[in-house]
Amino acid sequence: MRIEVAWWDLGADDPEPDELAASPAIQQAFGEWERVPNLTTKLWLVSRDARRWGP
């Protein structure tokens, strides 16, 4: 099993997590991840209060 976590601290000038998730580039990445062989789960984590976001 392999687990990879990427977690970004968003600054005051960065977009909100919902804006990031709705962006065309992220939507394209969602589609690409769905086609990864043997990948059973892909989670995107959001902490709106702490302004953190990531897969």
Using pLDDT thresholds of 50, 70 and 90, give the confidence band for residue 6.
confident
Residue 1 has pLDDT above 80, yes or no: no
Using pLDDT thresholds of 50, 70 and 90, give the confidence band for residue 11.
very high
Using pLDDT thresholds of 50, 70 and 90, give the confidence band for residue 10.
very high
Residue-level pLDDT at 36: 87
If you search the block for the tokens 């209060």, which residue do you land on? 49
Domain boundaries, the chain: 8-54
Q: Helix (H, G, I), strand (E, B), or coil: what is residue 9?
A: strand
Using pLDDT thresholds of 50, 70 and 90, give the confidence band for residue 55.
confident
Q: Exposed (0-12), middle (13-18) or buried (19+): which is 21, by Cβ within 10 Å?
A: middle
Residue-level pLDDT at 40: 82
